[in-house]
Structure 1
Amino acid sequence: HYTAKVLIQRPVAGSLIVRSSLEKKFPESWSEIEPNSFKVRGQNYIKDKKKECASSCSAYVPFGADVFLSPRKINHVARFVDLPKLDPHGDICPLLVVNLQIPLYPAAIFQTEYDGPGMSLVFYFKLSENYSQALPLHFLENFKKIMDNESEKVKSFPMDATVPFRERLKLLGRIVNIEDLQLSGSEKKLLQAYNEKPVLSRPQHEFFMGENYLEIDLDIHRFSFIARKGFESFHSRIKNCIFDFGLTIQGNKPEDLPECMLCCIRIKEIDYANYSQL
């Protein structure tokens, strides 16, 4: 499954995967996508349970992506790459790094250790120029709570609980080209059922603050056995996938709505066998 040919040291962030325009079918590349291509909880979701297109601005825009192979999970990958020197804007980090930690070893029912050979698919985002005008205040305040690791009181049975605000972070993923993947009927059904279903990232997430960045590590090694098995059957097809990824903050109360996109990116046909060990 996993053979990294070369070791690379301190690469420039985003130097391993090229950028391509959205409409081009260009393997081994990433593209910017419109935040409003994602459906999120609308203004009146608490009453009508309706989702609507997100606004056309996200808090962060992508500027690069990398793939790194490793014999164990790489946590806090931003320490090992050269990030651009951007000055902080007020309270919000100028850079956001998202590290998808993807296992490349078989899932086991009685897993004792959630680590082993895998890859880090890393996305780099910078603060959108007009974020403060284009995004509602509630969304920016909620993101600040995530950055500052604040807690909130949540009504639960038998007694109210205090939970980290970070537990509201939600990921949206979708495979754009299901038809190209030559799936069996049951695989296709499974994928269509889960495609674009939002998932709260807790408890499989870690946060790291740097001088001018926030890094969010999303650990697929720790996903449930069933989810891992489903993902495993898919390994050989990753290189044929066009995949959209986004993050939002779940709105549980009217004052948290509508939800907005924190960041989003499209990744096209990445064959991890072509990449190196960090």
Structure 2
Amino acid sequence: MGACASRPKGWALRLSKKKKNGRQRRIIRRRVSSSNRSNFNPQLQGSMDGAWFDCTSVMDSERGDEEFYSVYDDVVSLNGSESAIQRTREGGADESDRMQGLVVVQNACLPCLPSTSPLSVDNKLSFRKRLGPSRLSFKWREGHAAPADPTLVSPRAVVKRPIAGSTIPHCPMGKRMPDCWSPLEPNTFKVRGRNYLRDKKKELAPDCAAYYPFGVDIFLSQRKIDHIARFVELPVVNVDGDVPSILVVNVQIPLYPISMFQSEHDGEGMNLVMYFKLSESYSKDLPAHFRESLTKFINDEVERVRGFPVDTIAPFRERLKILGRIVNVDELSKLNLNAAERRLMNACNEKPVLSRPQHEFYLGENYFEIDLDLHRFSYVSRKGIESFHERMKLSILDFGLTIQGNKAEELPEHILCCVRLDELDYHNRYNLGT
């Protein structure tokens, strides 16, 4: 049959010897081309070209026609599938024969990629990974419609100006549901008590807060988003008093690999956005010293800080303090945590931390926004956050903010806002269009 019938005895031995000298491709091409010279039929060339382009609709090959025919006929003779390929050339093959011929040609073109099924989207993607972008072009052929599933083109949908709190559902207090948020009693946090400057003891916070939650969102972004309240639709609340009626807390969490020597603290991440509404009994429940501190905090006033050797002037906003804790520590400890992670979780849980200087503030018409930039935290802190990414959907987190009291008349501390986040999963969230 063509090339196989005309090969003399001992051909395989001579070919193996010349293979060592790197001349296998030249010998194969010469022998096959000489054997096909007598059997060449111009009417079959169009069908051969059709089979070739059917095969290369997935692969962009730079091989010439002569090399293709050489490899083509040798693989047919070695695999014993010449009959199927011959029927494909003559146009009388059924669908199974065509698929068999394409598979043979596919294996001939790519001997390192085994395949026993017709080409599909998954095979195309696997070819792309192995061949690289220079060897593969993935395009939809004419006459074939694009897929209805938009995830094949864009894995994450983009949402513009969503309603605040529309991405994460609300769960009533006292119940436990995954991937939701719920209100939290302020008196579950420990803060500086009335006599803290003398005994250094902390007490449970008073059972009242300045702001209460009404929604939580998670948005993904290629770069961190500042002043995120511009891109969401906040509810209309009557503005009455010295403080805004809505508080927005935007926690910017990095999702890229953390490096000790990285110079730019920005990149792919998620924005955990929490929305709070001013308490209806704000003026009645909260003491005067806390309301005065909150007014100074929003108006960005400064204060004199006693220091050595001289006093300094510092913004009042540097008193903002983050309160956070993991409620189900015992459950997480049973997971695959190493000794260092277990010690870090037990030592740092419920430890307050000042947000300075990794914070920014934005004052709107009826809202006040606080951006907490975790991208700019220390290397050790960011590594801890990175290891916590996949455990976030297994954790119950309590989050709160307060204004630190540095004087006796500013104590006890009160909770500015607080919320419980129950097993949040940041995967498959929306990209926020800005």
* Shared fold, TM over 0.5: yes
Matched, 1:247 2:401: yes
Match of 1:13 among 141, 164, 172: 164
Matched, 1:221 2:375: yes
Q: Which structure is higher in helix share?
A: 2
Name the amino acid aligned to 1:149.
D
Counterpart in 2 of 1:185?
A: 339
Counterpart in 2 of 1:210?
A: 364
List per-residue Cα deviations over 1:79-121 (Å, max 9, x = no partner): 0000011121210110000000000011111121110000000
Q: Distance in 1 between matches of 2:254 and 2:155?
A: 14
Q: Contact 1:172–1:245 at 8 Å: present in 2 too? A: yes
Q: Contact 1:246–1:264 at 8 Å: present in 2 too? A: yes
Match of 1:174 among 308, 322, 325: 325
Question: Aligned runs of 1:73-84 on 2, under 5 Å?
Answer: 73-84=224-235
Q: Distance in 1 between matches of 2:342 and 2:171?
A: 28
Match of 1:86 among 204, 217, 237: 237
User: Structure 1 vs Structure 2: percent identity of aligned residues?
Assistant: 59
Q: Distance in 2 between matches of 1:260 and 1:124?
A: 19
Counterpart in 2 of 1:267?
A: 421
Deviation of 1:159 after TM superposition, in Å, equals: 1.3
TM-score (norm 1): 0.97
Q: Contact 1:4–1:277 at 8 Å: present in 2 too? A: no
Q: Distance in 2 between matches of 1:62 and 1:16?
A: 15
List per-residue Cα deviations over 1:3-56 (Å, max 9, x = no partner): 961100110000111110233221110000100000000011111111111111
TM-score (norm 2): 0.63
Matched, 1:234 2:385: no
Q: Contact 1:178–1:188 at 8 Å: present in 2 too? A: no
Match of 2:353 among 199, 208, 217: 199
Q: Distance in 2 between matches of 1:82 and 1:179?
A: 39
SS of 2:330's equivalent? helix
Counterpart in 1 of 2:185?
A: 34
Q: Contact 1:244–1:265 at 8 Å: present in 2 too? A: yes
Name the amino acid aligned to 1:131.
Y
List per-residue Cα deviations over 1:228-277 (Å, max 9, x = no partner): 11111111111111100000000111011000000000001111112110
SS of 1:274's equivalent? coil
Q: Distance in 2 between matches of 1:203 and 1:269?
A: 29
SS of 1:97's equivalent? strand
Counterpart in 1 of 2:173?
A: 22
Counterpart in 2 of 1:134?
A: 285
Name the amino acid aligned to 1:28.
D
Q: Which structure is higher in strand share?
A: 1
Name the amino acid aligned to 1:42.
G
SS of 1:138's equivalent? helix
Match of 1:96 among 247, 256, 277: 247
Name the amino acid aligned to 2:375.
H
Q: Contact 1:4–1:273 at 8 Å: present in 2 too? A: no
Asked which structure has the greater CA Rg, the reply is 2
Which structure 1 segments of 5+ residues have no match? none
SS of 1:190's equivalent? helix
Deviation of 1:184 after TM superposition, in Å, equals: 3.1
Name the amino acid aligned to 1:46.
L
Which structure 2 segments of 5+ residues have no match? 1-153
